[in-house]
């Protein structure tokens, strides 16, 4: 497999910005090889629906400018749909337990929440934030726009926030003690 194909695979899987040094580490190659691969990948993607975005020393795959009308229509269609039970459930988890990792949300719900989280992010209800020390991947938290829409000045103003938060913490402690005993 050519270096540009390997870089494309890494950028696709990461689904976000990746620094050159990280690409070097993942692919176990020198920086000049990664840079050459990035140039070839950029050339290969010309005129396609995806393009290579360069931001300082970070690179990511993004939709091309020419695809903007299609993506805009898709986003509008998605925003126009009801949140549904899964969306409300996920939003509640993020509201009362956030910032929280997708893995934790998946565990609580018992199903993969990737698409629901994406939908909530597109709608501006949830946003990614930095991960906790020692954890992998981003955390999800509510946006200030959501709090404003709900008429709240802070997350603690949610109905029965202290009670619900306390119950969630107790369940988490019990679960952690059961897992450490096994």
Task: Tell which residue, 80, 91, 82, has the closest CA to residue 140.
Answer: 91
In a domain, residue 30? The reply is yes
The count of other CB atoms within 10 Å of the CB of residue 101 is: 17
CA 21 to chain centre: 22
Mean of all residue pLDDT scores within the chain: 84
**Span 148-167, average pLDDT:** 79
Spatial CB neighbours of 161, under 8 Å, sequence gap ≥ 6: 96, 155
- The CATH number given to whatever domain includes residue 29 is 1.10.10.10
Which residue among 40, 66, 92 closes a domain?
66
In a domain, residue 34? The reply is yes
pLDDT category, 4, cuts 50, 70, 90? very high
**Span 67-87, average pLDDT:** 75
The DSSP code for 45 is T
pLDDT category, 6, cuts 50, 70, 90? very high
Alpha-carbon distance values, 5 to 27, 45, 47, 136 (Å): 11, 11, 17, 25
CA dist 13 and 70 (Å) reads 23
In a domain, residue 178? The reply is no
pLDDT in the model for residue 182: 55
CA dist 115 and 92 (Å) reads 16
Most confident of 28-42, 77-91, 144-158, 159-173: 28-42
Say whether pLDDT at 31 is over 90: yes
pLDDT in the model for residue 35: 94
CA dist 120 and 79 (Å) reads 9
**Span 12-23, average pLDDT:** 88
Say whether pLDDT at 41 is over 60: yes
Query: Helices 114-122 and 102-109 meet at what angle, rounded to 10?
Result: 120
Alpha-carbon distance values, 157 to 89, 124, 181 (Å): 19, 20, 36
Q: Report the domain count for the chain.
A: 2
Do 85 and 130 sit in the same domain of this protein?
yes
**Phi, psi values for residue 150, rounded to 5°:** -80, -5
pLDDT in the model for residue 14: 84
In a domain, residue 111? The reply is yes
pLDDT category, 29, cuts 50, 70, 90? very high
Do 58 and 120 sit in the same domain of this protein?
no
Which residue among 23, 41, 66 closes a domain?
66
Q: Which carries the bigger pLDDT value, residue 111 or residue 180?
A: 111
Alpha-carbon distance values, 135 to 60, 101, 102 (Å): 22, 9, 11
Do 45 and 19 sit in the same domain of this protein?
yes
In a domain, residue 179? The reply is no
Before 99, cis peptide (omega within 30)?
yes
Say whether pLDDT at 15 is over 80: no
Residues 95-149: pLDDT tens digits? 888 889 999 899 888 899 998 998 898 888 898 887 766 667 789 998 877 777 6
């Amino acid at each position: 497999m050519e270096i540009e194909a390997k870089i494309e695979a890494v950028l696709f899987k990461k689904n976000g910005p990746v620094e050159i040094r990280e690409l070097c580490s993942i692919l176990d190659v020198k920086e000049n090889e990664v840079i050459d691969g990035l140039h070839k990948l950029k050339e290969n993607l010309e005129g396609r629906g995806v393009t290579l975005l360069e931001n300082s020393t970070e690179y990511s795959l993004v939709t091309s400018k020419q695809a903007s009308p299609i993506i805009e229509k898709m986003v509008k269609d998605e925003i126009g749909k009801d949140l549904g039970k899964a969306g409300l459930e996920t939003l509640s988890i993020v509201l009362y337990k956030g910032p929280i990792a997708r893995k934790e949300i998946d565990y609580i719900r018992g199903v993969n929440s990737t698409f629901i989280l994406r939908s909530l992010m597109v709608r501006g209800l949830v946003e990614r934030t930095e991960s906790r020390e020692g954890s992998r991947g981003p955390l999800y938290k509510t946006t200030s726009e959501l709090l404003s829409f709900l008429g709240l000045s802070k997350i603690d103003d949610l109905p029965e926030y202290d009670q619900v938060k306390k119950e969630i913490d107790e369940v988490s402690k019990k679960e952690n003690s059961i897992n450490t005993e096994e």
